[in-house]
């Protein structure tokens, strides 16, 4: 059988509600021929349409502390980079930023920080729990928390304070590569974050970086492992080299590698949330990611507030191109519309009800 015919057979399976094998996932990840890429992206869109019609969700991003005790090789905010912008937002600023994002129409506030020693050292996480409580008291939309890796006993407290989601990306599920990317961090402790979050009744997001030295088989294994993990949001983001880091001169992979990964994620996780992050190519990268099957726009950042992105710490922020207003125009042109908040709330409530308090691996 020629390659076109065998790819068509694989693409038919998710359309019929069937699961893909690891080998099939890897075959799809290897597609680079223009015609087959079109078929892959079309199938991903078709499947997204079945579950979400043309509706997308928007996540506001509040990077409230850029201090970090870790030294991840890929990250601009690693502790040994003296050039990184460091700030900590005050309570008033966090409330103001979260409220203005809510008013602008996002569905979720993603509260993100480096592993700020002030919060992480000592192990009690009182300040983090207080921040969640404070934001929950002041906004009426769901809250995601991306604080790095934290102890098991803190998850319940975060849920009680009002968190809905916990995001913590493994970056890779290849243990040797993990060691190089996140030196002196424990692979199992980081992987457990997602399970501990779900055990406590939180929803969890898992993610990988594309172009950090992984092979197609690694990507395929990650996509499959995320299925077994039963997380509700999954992401792939292209690695963007950062000045003054050990990986500053690594050759990043082409964006097509991320787009293919997103499309295959959609085929394996048909009903899940898959972000198109503005943090990689800014607003110009939105259409290709939606075209590949993503259904959430993340890293929406209010302009002129001294807030940073992660992979692109300045791109498109201060001219307002990462604002809801700008995104809404783009979505209109692309034939998408912003889902009502009530749709989002009932979607995640349904997931929480199904999971109960006992999601396990
Ligand atoms: N400090 C917390 C942590 O590491 O889990 C929360 C921050 S989280 C927003 C940082 C994520 O951004 C990383 O897990 C990684 O997936 C992504 N990231 C960081 N630097 C990046 C880069 N140079 N290129 C692409 N993605 C990057
Ligand atoms: C994003 N810059 O969505 C954000 C960040 C953390 N939960 C999300 C990586 O691209
Ligand atoms: Fe710190 Fe997160 Fe950056 Fe690693 S990825 S250096 S933990 S901010």
The ligand 1 atom at the shortest distance from the C-alpha of residue 169 is 14
Amino acid 357: pLDDT: 54
Amino acid 3: pLDDT: 79
Structural domain boundaries in the chain: 36-355
- Among the four given CATH numbers 3.20.20.70, 3.10.20.600, 3.30.565.10, 1.10.287.1040, the one describing domain 36-355: 3.20.20.70
DSSP letters spanning 112-129: EE---HHHHTTS--HHHH
Give the whole-angstrom CA distance, residue 171 versus residue 22.
19
Give the whole-angstrom CA distance, residue 75 versus residue 64.
17
Kindly report the protein residue whose alpha carbon is nearest to atom 6 of ligand 3. 78
What token pair was written down for 315? 């791109």
Contact in structure between 260 and 40 (CB atoms under 8 Å): yes
Taking the CA of 207 as reference, the closest ligand is 1
Give the whole-angstrom CA distance, residue 311 versus residue 223.
22
Contact in structure between 168 and 128 (CB atoms under 8 Å): no
Kindly report the protein residue whose alpha carbon is nearest to atom 5 of ligand 1. 148
The ligand 1 atom at the shortest distance from the C-alpha of residue 240 is 24
Give the whole-angstrom CA distance, residue 235 versus residue 225.
13
Q: Per residue, what are the HEC states of 60-115?
A: EEEEEECCCCCCCCCCCCCCCCCCCCCCECCHHHHHHHHHHHHHHCCCEEEEEECC
Taking the CA of 184 as reference, the closest ligand is 3
The ligand 1 atom at the shortest distance from the C-alpha of residue 115 is 1
- Ligand 3 centre distance from Cα of residue 340 (Å): 33
What token pair was written down for 248? 């500053």
Does 233 sit in the ligand 2 pocket, CB within 6 Å? no
- Ligand 2 centre distance from Cα of residue 222 (Å): 19
Taking the CA of 311 as reference, the closest ligand is 1
Task: Ligand 1: list residues with CB < 6 Å.
Answer: 74-75, 112, 114-115, 146, 148, 168-169, 171, 207, 209, 237, 239-240, 242, 310-311
Coil/strand/helix, residue 359: coil
Q: At what angle do helices 216-229 and 22-29 cross, to 10 degrees?
A: 130
Kindly report the protein residue whose alpha carbon is nearest to atom 8 of ligand 3. 114
Kindly report the protein residue whose alpha carbon is nearest to atom 3 of ligand 1. 148
Q: How far are the Cα atoms of 7, 8, 24, 351 from residue 2, in angstroms, in the given order?
A: 9, 10, 15, 41
Amino acid 360: pLDDT: 43
Amino acid 2: pLDDT: 83
**Long-range Cβ contacts of 45-51 (<8 Å, 24+ apart):** 45/291, 45/293, 46/15, 47/14, 47/15, 47/266, 47/267, 47/270, 47/293, 48/266, 48/270, 48/293, 48/295, 50/270, 51/270, 51/271
* Grouped pLDDT means (10 residues each) for the chain, 361 residues: 90 98 98 98 98 98 98 98 96 97 98 98 94 98 98 98 98 98 98 98 98 98 98 98 98 97 98 98 98 98 93 94 95 97 98 72 40
Taking the CA of 237 as reference, the closest ligand is 1
Neighbours of 353 (CB within 10 A): 8
What token pair was written down for 359? 């999601």
Does 312 sit in the ligand 2 pocket, CB within 6 Å? no
Contact in structure between 250 and 239 (CB atoms under 8 Å): yes
Closest to 253 (Cα-Cα) out of 266, 269, 241, 267: 241
The per-residue pLDDT for range 168-215, each reduced to its tens digit, is 999 999 999 999 999 999 999 999 999 999 999 999 999 999 999 999
Does 148 sit in the ligand 3 pocket, CB within 6 Å? yes
């Amino acid at each position: 059988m020629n390659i076109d015919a065998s790819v068509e057979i694989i693409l038919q399976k998710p359309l019929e509600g069937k699961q893909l094998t690891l080998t099939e996932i890897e075959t799809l990840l290897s597609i680079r021929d223009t015609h087959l890429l079109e078929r892959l992206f079309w199938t991903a869109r078709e499947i997204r349409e079945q579950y979400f019609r043309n509706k997308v969700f928007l996540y506001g991003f509040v990077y409230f502390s850029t201090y970090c005790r870790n030294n991840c090789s890929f990250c601009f905010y690693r502790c040994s980079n003296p050039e990184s912008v460091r700030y900590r937002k005050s309570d008033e600023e966090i409330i103001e930023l979260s409220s203005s994002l809510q008013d602008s129409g996002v569905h979720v506030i993603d509260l993100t920080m480096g592993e700020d020693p002030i919060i992480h050292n000592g192990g009690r996480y009182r300040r983090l729990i207080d921040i969640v409580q404070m934001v929950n008291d002041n906004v009426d939309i769901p809250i995601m928390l991306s604080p790095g890796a934290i102890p098991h006993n803190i998850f319940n407290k975060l849920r009680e304070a009002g968190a809905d989601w916990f995001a913590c990306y493994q970056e890779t599920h290849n243990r040797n590569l993990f060691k190089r990317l996140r030196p002196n961090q424990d692979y199992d402790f980081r992987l457990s974050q997602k399970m501990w979050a779900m055990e406590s009744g939180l929803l969890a997001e898992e993610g990988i970086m594309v172009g950090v030295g992984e092979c197609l088989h690694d990507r395929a294994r990650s996509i499959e492992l995320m299925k077994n993990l039963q997380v509700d949001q999954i992401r792939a983001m292209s690695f963007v080299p950062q000045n003054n880091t050990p990986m500053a001169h690594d050759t990043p992979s082409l964006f097509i590698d991320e787009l293919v990964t997103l499309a295959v994620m959609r085929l394996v996780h048909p009903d899940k949330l898959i972000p198109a992050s503005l943090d990689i190519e800014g607003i110009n990268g939105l259409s290709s990611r939606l075209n590949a099957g993503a259904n959430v726009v993340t890293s929406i950042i209010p302009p002129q507030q001294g807030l940073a992105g992660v992979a692109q710490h300045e791109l498109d922020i201060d001219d307002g191109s990462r604002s809801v207003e700008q995104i809404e125009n783009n979505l209109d042109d692309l034939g998408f519309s912003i889902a009502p908040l009530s749709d989002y709330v009932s979607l995640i409530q349904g997931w929480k009800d199904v999971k109960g308090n006992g999601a396990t691996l």
